[in-house]
Amino acid sequence: MENNTQKANITVLGSFVVDLMSRTPHLPVPGETVLGGPFKLGPGGKGSNQATAAARAGANVVMCTKLGQDEFAKIALDNFTREGINTEHVYQDSRYETGVALIMVDEDAENMIVVAIGANNYITKEEVYQLEGKIAQSQVLLTQLETNIDAVIHAVDIAKAQHVPVILNPAPIQPIPDDLLAKVDILTPNETEAEKLTNMKIKSLEDAKAAGSILLDKGVKNVVITLGKNGALIVNKQKVEHVPAVKVDPVDTTGAGDAFNGGLAVALAEGKDLAKAVEFANYLAALSVTKVGTAPSMPLRKEIDDFMHKTR
């Protein structure tokens, strides 16, 4: 599918939250109040951000998530409709609130985030199984850990039964059962997540390689550790390959990991090999950090292709 004559199909199981973001001169220490601004409210959540990145990058995207029945749910539904994302499996439940993320971004583009995941934590087994047909028609299942982990496990089991590759972005980091890791085709931790999954510090590419090997021993087929300005490291049984970052002047790094994962899913679904897919994802993520916001900063496919053509 390198010629893009037909769009790739991707299913995303993940979160939606409303992002409440403010700029601040510096990130506060405990007990400190900092005057900030401007304030922005918009669509976010790891699942939704990754779905938006994938849709804007040219894929047909099916989203599975759960919302409350409140004003913030309307923001989600409007966003998915605007982005052309299939909402047949976006569920609502009046017992729970739509998720919210409280985000602070300082003058150096560093951020602090608190997520109240709300309804995202209550996706049922039955709701996931209703997704089976869509997963079967997909080239990739993309998921994270910002929903209840049972939902992730059920979706991964469906994908495995249908021989659909699984990308698991292990964020926000939490303990992951080894039997789930063993079903993952591509695990995409950042440095911090890789450290917590392996109980080792990562200060160099050699450290990242060692961490990747530990994760391979748990059954993961491929590990892609994202290293911020140092790019990404691919570790599998066949090779270790470093894919350099794309240099830009960052404005807001919030959502860069989501941009990367959405781009990776699209590139793999289009038939690119893993190294080329990681390169594409690096370019998408680099473009995303040149704008403020999470979902609103995700670039369109033409922007990505033009950027790659100019800077390669």
What are the catalytic residues?
258
Burial class (CB in 10 A: 0-12, 13-18, 19+), 220: buried
DSSP letters for 28-79: PPTT-------EEEEEE-HHHHHHHHHHHTT-EEEEEEEE-SSHHHHHHHHH
Are 19 and 293 in contact by the 8 Å Cβ rule? The answer is: yes
- For residue 275, the SS3 value is helix
- For residue 27, the SS3 value is coil
Strand partners, 65: 90
Answer whether the bond into residue 189 is a cis peptide, omega within 30°.
no
Look up residue 1 and give its two tokens: 């599918």
- For residue 201, the SS3 value is coil
HEC secondary structure over 117-162: CHHHHHCCHHHHHCCHHHHHCCCEEEECCCCCHHHHHHHHHHHHHC
Query: Count H helices, E strands: the chain?
Result: 11, 13
What is the distance between the terminal CA atoms of the chain, rounded to a whole angstrom? 21
Strand (E) or helix (H) holding 112: strand 111-116
CB count within 10 Å of CB 78 equals 11
- For residue 240, the SS3 value is strand
